[in-house]
Amino acid sequence: MTTTPRVVDTYPDLAEADRVAGQLYTDPAIFDEEMEKIFYSTWVWVAHESEIPEAGSFKTTYVGRQPVIVTRDRKGGFNTLLNRCRHRGATVCDQSNGKANGFTCPYHNWSYALDGKLRGIPYPEGYEGVVEKEDFPLQRLRTESYAGMIWATFNQDAEPLEDFLGDAKIWIDRFFKQTNGYPTKVTGIHKFRFRGNWKIQLENTTDGYHFPMVHKSWMASIDAETAEMMSFMNDPAAVTHDLGNGHSVAVMAPANADLDIDDGAPLQPRFDDLVAELEASGEYTPEQIRRFVRSMHGSGFNLNTFPNVSFSLAFFRVLIPISVDETEIWHMSLGMDGGPECVNQERLRIHEHFQGPFGFGSPDDAEGWERVQLGAAGAPRMPILVNRGLNRETPSAEGWPTSHVTDETGMRGAYAMWKKMMSHD
């Protein structure tokens, strides 16, 4: 682990409107404080409802550094439970996902229901007059959902989830238009780690500036129409909005920002075979087929919701802080539940081409992030600039601070929220 002396103690000095100290990526004391003041104080995304589709379905994940289980109980309710036995602290579930009637701790077999209630204690005689089962459920986090997305928080006094999301909800609704009226389902997850601070990834999701440089090899590997779609550097309609509460959206392909609005552009020839297959099935109208194909690349934007999940083109990107200089990323590809599987398959191939383990995009991003961590460790007091576009930022019609998609408006919004939360006692 990189350790650096904590030379500046006040957050106003560490995060200004147009710059942050490199120390924000390297100081273990700041990381510990972030866990308390951000990850254990606000809403953290934990699951999409399609990952826990039925009563008894569960998945495991993390809220900050704490392991949790997300379950769907017999009544259909979502529960987020601390994955920590109330006896001597062992994790009670070690599977990434599955179906269960409850959870039995492997150490001394205390058993818990899907809503966390303590149901059974083996050889209970020793606990008579010592343990009442109702006093020792798995710790429950507050859990709320919006549009099938489930967030949890340790903070019982946190504002309602929908208030926290605010105007990000408008973009969440637009994002899910890519499944064309079918329910959304997670079609696969790829997990990897990089040697860098979590905020480096947080910044990257609305960093349009790096795209043509870092992703040159991806741009060279795609068809001309897709390259045209992602050539936003000089497109004035491609903008980033600061949506408040640390949330932001980078609109890279404006024509796809709202898939209900069809500009009539010809479909990409690369999908000719897919169109022929859908037509041959006789199951879909020409309008439906056109809509499927227009949604192949997803939503046309990257929506970053603070602090740990982004809705990125056609997938979710989840960020799990491991330590001050290590972060785990989950890329979760999306498809239609009940729609044509050939379309889901083609969407998955497109996803793999950029985001997959052998993709042409994500490995290049990770290289950049690790270099940021190495450089920041070298001079933790030298500022990281987030001032691109500061002089051309104006309010949108909705009142959102807005600038070109290559500008650092989203990062400024995220750091303003970071500073607000970290300054809280």
Interface residues with ligand FES (CB under 6 A) are 85, 87-88, 90, 105, 107-110
CB nearer to Fe ion: give 144 or 365. 365
> Using the rule CB under 5 A, is 242 a contact of Fe ion?
no
Binding to Fe ion by residue 203, rule CB under 5 A?
no
Segment near Fe ion (CB under 5 A); pick from 3-11, 79-87, 277-285, 361-369: 361-369
**C-alpha dihedral sign at 79, 80, 81, 83:** positive
Q: Which is nearer to Fe ion, 203 or 365 (CB)?
A: 365
Contact 60, 83 (CB under 8 A): yes
Residue 15 DSSP class: B
Between 83 and 179, name the residue whose CB sits nearer to ligand FES: 83
The listed partner (Fe ion, ligand FES, none) that binds 365, CB under 5 to 8 Å by sort, is Fe ion
392 binds, among Fe ion, ligand FES, none (CB under 5 to 8 A by kind): none
What tokens does 388 get?
A: 């691109």
| Contact partner, 296, from ligand FES, Fe ion, none, Cβ < 5-8 Å per class | none
Type of residue numbered 48? H
Residue 113 binds what, of ligand FES, Fe ion, none (CB under 5 to 8 Å, by partner type)? none
Which two structure tokens, joined as six digits, stand for 221? 């590997």
Residue 111 DSSP class: E
Q: Please answer whether residues 83 and 91 qualify as being in contact, where contact means their C-beta atoms are separated by less than 8 angstroms.
A: yes
Using the rule CB under 5 A, is 365 a contact of Fe ion?
Answer: yes
C-beta closer to ligand FES: residue 108 or 216: 108
| Contacting range for Fe ion; rule: CB under 5 A; set: 81-89, 149-157, 358-366, 397-405 | 358-366
Give the x-and-dash track for 313-352 against Fe ion (CB under 5 A): ----------------------------------------
Largest CA distance in the chain: 75
Considering the complex, state which of residue 105 and residue 141 has its C-beta at the smaller distance from ligand FES: 105
Query: Of 74-82, 131-139, 239-247, 360-368, which segment contacts Fe ion by CB under 5 A?
Result: 360-368
| Closest CB 123 distance from ligand FES, rounded Å | 11
Gap between the Cα atoms of 243 and 404, Å rounded: 15
Residue the block writes with tokens 């950049």: 368
Nearer to ligand FES, 96 or 109 (CB): 109
Number of H-type helices and E-type strands within the chain: 14, 21
DSSP designation for 282: T
Element (H, E) at 420: helix 409-422
Q: Is 151 or 198 the residue whose CB approaches Fe ion more closely?
A: 198
Peptide bond before residue 395 is cis, with ω within 30 degrees of 0 = no
**How distant, in Å, are the alpha carbons of 37, 49, 213, 410 from that of 304?**
19, 19, 21, 8
Q: Cβ of residue 349: shortest distance to ligand FES, in angstroms?
A: 44
| β 78-82/66-72 pair status | antiparallel
Enter the tokens of residue 415: 């750091």
At residue 82, φ and ψ (nearest 5 deg) are: -65, 130
> Among Fe ion, ligand FES, none, what binds residue 90 when CB lies within 5 to 8 Å by partner kind?
ligand FES
The nearer residue to ligand FES, 38 or 85, going by C-beta atoms, is 85
Q: Binding-site residue total for Fe ion (CB under 5 A)?
A: 1
From ligand FES, Fe ion, none, interface partner of 34 (C-beta below 5 to 8 A by class): none
- Token look-up 């030298």 returns 382
Q: How far is the CB of 310 from Fe ion (least distance, A)?
A: 12
Answer whether 284's CB lies under 8 Å from 276's CB: no
Of residues 87 and 142, the one with the C-beta less far from ligand FES: 87
CA dihedral 33, 37, 42, 44 (to 10 degrees): 0
Residues that bind Fe ion (CB under 5 A): 365
